[in-house]
Amino acid sequence: MESASKSLQMDDDIERKSVSPDNDSELVEFTREEELRLLRKFDFFILPPLAVMYLANALDKGNISNAQTAGFATDIGLKGNQYYILVMVFYAPFCVFGTPLSLFAKRFSAARVLPLLMIGFGSMALCTAAAKNFSEVFAIRFFLGIAESPMLPAVVYYLSTFYKRNELASRIAVFYAASSISGAFSGLLAYAVFHINHTKYHNWQYLFWIEGGATICFATFAWFWLPRTPATWRFLTERQKAIARSRILADSSTVVDEKIQVASAFTPFKSPLYWTWILISLSLGVPLASVNNFLPQARPATAPSSPSNFKQIIAGFKYSTVKTNLYTVAPNVAGTVALLLLAFSSDYFRERSLRAYHLVHPLLTAYLYLCIPLATALIGFIILGTIDTLKHLHVAYFACFLLTMGAFAPSVLVATWYSNNTTHESKRAAVAAVMVAFANSAGLISTNVFRAQDAPKYVPALATSAAFGGFCLLLVLGTGIWMRRENARRNREQGVDLQSKDVDTSNLEGTESPLFRYMY
């Protein structure tokens, strides 16, 4: 067993595949320098357009909030809670259609399906500019939810076909950073657009036209730019294509370019572990949705009231509109920086849920990655729920930083976590779709607990968000500790000392394989 263990170790300079003779012709040896050149191509040519696509996704999803500050509700005749219904209706199709459309993206390539869906949600933005009443906007928001539903799971799966397991979190973080920074960018864009003076059209209509039109134009570019797979990408040499295939077989998938098999794609959910990940996805989704939906958006003090005391925090400083916009940038930037730092560190150490440092005794452990941001967001919700935000504006503003720094990273790390531990491509696509659907369903909880009658403190909503965040923290801790112990048990029984990086994924049939080691 010791020799088997050594044969599975990854050499620092040359990464070598251990495969059956039938597959020798498909696999190559390569130097670290060759691998880095290939990674630079992936990073420079694939990540930027995906990040722009997700930025457009976030802007088109959230532009109704900015339009609200420019008289959108009054101009189309919204009454009572109709604005909040428009926010909520987006989440129903967002949850239901994410799974089938993600499998559709696996079948016909995310590089082709995602631009088509991008054209769909860009068109919905254009249609919103022409809407005249609540019913029309309701229908538009419903179809917008359909078009945007598979964006995150499809991209997570798509990137997993280019990057190894210890490279995935940082790349998803770069992609996801576009969404986390959109809260800052959208406020500044809205401020500029709302200075357009035209008597025939409303200012908010220009916002939808500009964002929707730009989305459709970029979708056309993405259709021709994004490669379906490394094997079909014209920018790669034949050797680079072979290296790309060998990398994924060594540390990601059991089979490359596996055909979608719907019947077996959902078999991972026979395991209690995946149901635990569902609970983790759902519970982290509530605080994330609360931050995304109700974090400060720039608005003047005279703007229509919105279901959030977070907006009142920024408005409470009583600065000019442009300065108010600038104050919304800082928390989003801080959250994005924290997201990138945690994700890159997580990839470097090949850790997702926790990392243990034995201080005095093995039971004394410091937890990082998923645990630290979850605890940070939890503290932020507790602060906002226990202070008078109007009397302690600076403390409340500090709590906004805690929320963004704690809410953005867990979504990326959890998505990477379950993808890393699912070695079949069809199953990985299905798992990502289901997990994100449950995470998105948390938006229904978030939008319904922020009620107008609880203004201005919204204690029930903050308490609910904190409770779900705390529950998620406990689940993550328990799952990470269980994975460590399960890996240790398998090592003891086999008389080896293997980690996830030592195991060739092409030799695995799943988590039940004796050689499989969890990446926690």
pLDDT tens figures, 190-249: 777 777 776 678 888 888 999 899 999 999 999 999 999 999 999 999 999 999 999 988
CA 303/CA 281 separation, integer angstroms: 34
Average pLDDT, the chain: 80
Strongest mean pLDDT among 83-97, 109-123, 327-341, 406-420: 109-123
By percentage, how much of the chain surpasses pLDDT 90?
27
Predicted local distance difference test score (pLDDT) of residue 425: 82
Residue-wise pLDDT tens digits, 272-304: 999 999 999 999 989 888 886 665 433 333 333
Contact 154, 113 (CB under 8 A): yes
Residue labelled with tokens 């003090």:
301
Report the interhelical angle of 425-449 vs 272-294 (nearest 10°).
Answer: 40
pLDDT digits (tens, 9 = 90+) for 73-93: 888 888 877 887 887 888 888
Cis peptide before 456, with omega less than 30 degrees from 0? yes
* pLDDT of residue 311 exceeding 80: no
- pLDDT (0 to 100) of residue 280: 94
Q: Which residue has the tokens 């369903």?
A: 441
User: What pLDDT, on the 0 to 100 scale, is given for residue 320?
Assistant: 55
- What pLDDT sits at residue 353? 61
pTM (2 d.p.): 0.81
Look at residue 315 in the predicted model and tell me its pLDDT: 58
- Take residue 24 and report the two structure tokens written for it: 């020798």
Cβ contacts of 327 within 8 Å, gap of 6 or more:
296, 298, 314, 317, 319, 397
**Averaged over 166-172, what is the pLDDT?**
87
Residue 465 has pLDDT above 80, yes or no: yes
Least confident of 12-21, 429-438, 500-509: 12-21
The whole-number pLDDT of residue 351 equals: 67
Residue 14: what are its φ and ψ, rounded to 5°?
Answer: -130, 125
pLDDT for position 3: 39
Task: Output 293 or 99, whichever has higher pLDDT.
Answer: 99
- What's residue 472's pLDDT? 93
Q: What element of type H or E holds 30?
A: strand 30-31
Position 500 scores a pLDDT of 79
In this prediction, residue 361 has a pLDDT band, given cuts at 50, 70 and 90, of: very low
Please tell me which residue, 12 or 176, carries the higher pLDDT value: 176
Q: What is the mean pLDDT of residues 327-351?
A: 81
Question: What is the distance between the alpha carbons of residues 155 and 440, in angstroms, rounded to a whole number?
Answer: 15
- Mean pLDDT is lowest, of 84-98, 260-274, 297-311, for 297-311
Given a contact cutoff of 8 angstroms between Cβ atoms, the answer to whether 317 and 327 are in contact is: yes
Q: Which fold has domain 32-507?
A: Growth Hormone; Chain: A; (1.20.1250)
pLDDT at 442: 85
Q: Is the pLDDT of residue 334 over 80?
A: yes
Is pLDDT at 97 greater than 80 in this prediction? Answer: yes
Least confident of 68-77, 155-164, 398-407: 68-77
pLDDT in tens, 390-438: 788 888 889 889 998 898 888 888 888 898 888 888 888 889 889 988 8
Dihedral angle at the C-alpha atoms of 417, 226, 176, 329, nearest 10 degrees? 170
User: pLDDT-based confidence at 352, cuts 50/70/90?
Assistant: low
HSE-up of 51 (CA within 13 Å, CB side)?
A: 18
Q: What is the pLDDT of residue 269?
A: 92
The pLDDT score that the predictor gives to residue 262 is: 75
Going by pLDDT thresholds of 50, 70 and 90, the confidence category of residue 42 is: very high
120 or 186, greater pLDDT: 120
pLDDT at position 15 over 60: no
pLDDT at residue 517 in the model:
85
Residue 382: its pLDDT value, please? 92
User: Which residue, among 197, 195, 75, has the nearest Cα to 129 in the 3D structure?
Assistant: 75
pLDDT for 481: 86
Residue 118, C-beta contacts closer than 8 angstroms, at least 6 positions apart: 53, 56, 57, 147, 215, 216, 218, 219, 222
Burial of 394 from C-beta contacts in 10 A (0-12 / 13-18 / 19+): exposed
For the record, the structure tokens of 469 come out as 């965040």
Residue 460 confidence (pLDDT) above 70: yes
Confidence at residue 183, expressed as pLDDT on a 0 to 100 scale: 63
pLDDT above 70 (res 96): yes
Q: What are phi and psi of 387, to 5 degrees?
A: -115, 165
User: Where exactly are the structural domains of the chain?
Assistant: 32-507
Residue 59 pLDDT more than 70? yes
In residues, how long is the chain?
A: 520
**Hey, which residues does 30 pair with through a beta bridge?**
15
Dihedrals phi, psi of 348, to nearest 5 degrees: -60, -40
Mean predicted confidence (pLDDT) in 138-159: 91
Helix and strand numbers (H, E) in the chain are: 22, 2
| Range among 251-260, 338-347, 350-359, 502-511 rated most confident | 338-347
Answer for the pair 191, 322: CB distance below 8 angstroms, yes or no.
Answer: yes
> Residue 198: its pLDDT value, please?
67
450 alpha-carbon distance from chain centroid: 23
pLDDT value, residue 184? 64
Which stretch, 27-31, 363-367, 482-486, has highest mean pLDDT?
482-486
